[in-house]
Structure 1
Amino acid sequence: MTDWIKTTIESLGYVGIALLMFLENLFPPIPSELIMPLAGYTANLPGAKLNIYGVFFAGLMGSVLGALIWYYPGKFLSEKRLQALADKYGSWLGISNKDIIQAKHWFNKQGKKAVLIGRLVPGVRTLISIPAGISNMHLPSFLFYTTVGSGCWVGLLTYTGYVLGSQYELVDKYLAPVSKFVLGGLILAFAFWILKRKRKSRRR
């Protein structure tokens, strides 16, 4: 996959970066943790045709457009219909109906900030658009939080790849445990919130 990503960036430039990040939102197995560090590294090569700012904005644009693709099915299709489609075709995209349910519950508890935070968490960042659409979150708000969250994620990956140079693959290696730690922390915080709510209900 690395060779394919590299070839796409080298042949299509900024358009290739935007396309890859767009596809990354549709097919989670395509890792942004590899796309953007590689693009950042490419921008730091001697005589590079790309610059780090163009790489960042191309990646951000592709990421936001990809998020919109998941927002509209959530807005116009019922939750049950989406779950049925996930059961039937989700294996092609790497998602299941359980993923949709989990993302929906998290969105309901966290509100609008779930979109911003979710864009920073691998495994959640792709699917968080679906409950936003199901809940009829206003498009301007969705775009704002998605852009801010995606900007932070894309910027981090691009800069680390630019700084690490030929060792850009270390980004994925060291970021994966950190991402799992962050996701675990969010799950614990959510569990604590539920426990706290139950205690308050019993007191009443």
Structure 2
Amino acid sequence: MADMWATDLMDTLGAPGAGLAVALENLFPPLPSEVILPLAGFTASQGEMSLFAAIFWTTLGSVAGAAALYYVGALLGRDRTRAIAARLPLVKLSDVDRTEAWFARHGTKAVFFGRMIPIFRSLISVPAGIERMPLPTFLSLTAVGSLIWNTVFILAGYFLGENWERVEAYAGVLQKVVIVAVVLAVGYFVATRLRRRVLSR
């Protein structure tokens, strides 16, 4: 379904259509870049767009989508985020403090490497906005990280040609690993908090 939608955009708009698809993927993570990017590479291999244009426009789309989510985080703001966290069960404001301290130390690395991790590719923009990371820094890190990610997947689709869908299978394994890691981390957090609550009674 996603590949048909992305194909229609590329057929209609060319390389800018690939960029638009990637921008939307940032805002709606269920639209996987792991499908859009190798498809753009395959399209370039057929001579329907240049390889450079595919990389340029998809990277521009990545930055545009990430910037939109950055502003969502900025509008949400630190105070609202803390107010929401205070209402969540099992979450303490000290958790928010630790997260903020961690982001202050490692935020630049998180934004850069986060652009190359499924799921986090989109989500990392929100805390960057909440913490008001300097916009030029955020955009630069996002552009470079996205350029690396996009280039790898577009080149894979370009050289695999009609077998470009193989890329999605390998990327799917990485996404599953990330999901399992997140589920385990959340499970550990919840179990630890519940255990402490029981022992404190």
* Matched residue, 1:200: none
Does the 8 Å contact 1:106/1:114 carry over to 2?
no
Q: Distance in 2 between matches of 1:149 and 1:166?
A: 27
For residue 155 of structure 2, what is the amino acid of its counterpart?
Answer: Y
So what's the TM-score if we normalise by structure 2?
A: 0.75
The one-letter amino acid paired with 2:115 is R
Q: CA deviation at 1:139?
A: 0.7
The equivalent position to 1:176 in structure 2, one of 160, 167, 172, is 172
Contact between 1:104 and 1:130, CA under 8 Å: does it hold in 2? no
* CA distance in structure 2 between the aligned counterparts of 1:176 and 1:104, rounded to whole angstroms: 31
**Which residue is equivalent to 1:56?**
55
Aligned to 2:114, which of 118, 131, 155?
A: 118
Q: CA 1:79–1:169 in 2, change beyond 3 Å: closer, same or farther? A: farther
TM-score between the two structures when normalised by the length of structure 1: 0.74
* 3-state SS in 2 of match to 1:30: coil
Matches within 5 A, 1:32-181: 32-45=33-46, 48-79=47-78, 81=80, 107-108=103-104, 110-181=106-177
Task: Name structure 2 gaps, 5 residues minimum.
Answer: 85-98, 189-201
Cα 1:17–1:109 change in 2 (3 A) is same
Instruction: Name the amino acid aligned to 1:149.
Output: G
* Aligned counterparts of 2:104 and 2:14: Cα–Cα separation in 1: 39
Shift of 1:107: 3.5
RMSD: 3.0
| Counterpart Cα distance in 2 of 1:105 and 1:38 | 40
Percent of aligned pairs sharing the same letter? 42
Separation in 1 of the partners of 2:165 and 2:100? Answer: 33
Structure 1 partner of 2:93: none
**SS state at 1:122 partner:** coil
Give CA-to-partner distance per residue, 1:18-66, whole Å, 9 cap, x none: 1101100000000100001001001111xx2301110000100000000
SS of equivalent to 2:161: helix
Aligned residue-pair number: 171
2:28 corresponds to: 27
Aligned residue type for 2:116: L
Rounded Cα–Cα distance in structure 2 between residues aligned with 1:24 and 1:83? 28
The superposition leaves residues 102-122 of structure 1 with CA deviations (integer Å, 9 ceiling, x where unpaired) of x97874562211000100001
- SS of the equivalent of 1:77 reads helix
Cα gap change, 1:41/1:108 in structure 2, threshold over 3 Å: closer, same or farther? Answer: same
Compute the displacement of 1:143 (Å).
0.9
CA contact under 8 A between 2:78 and 2:131: conserved in structure 1? no
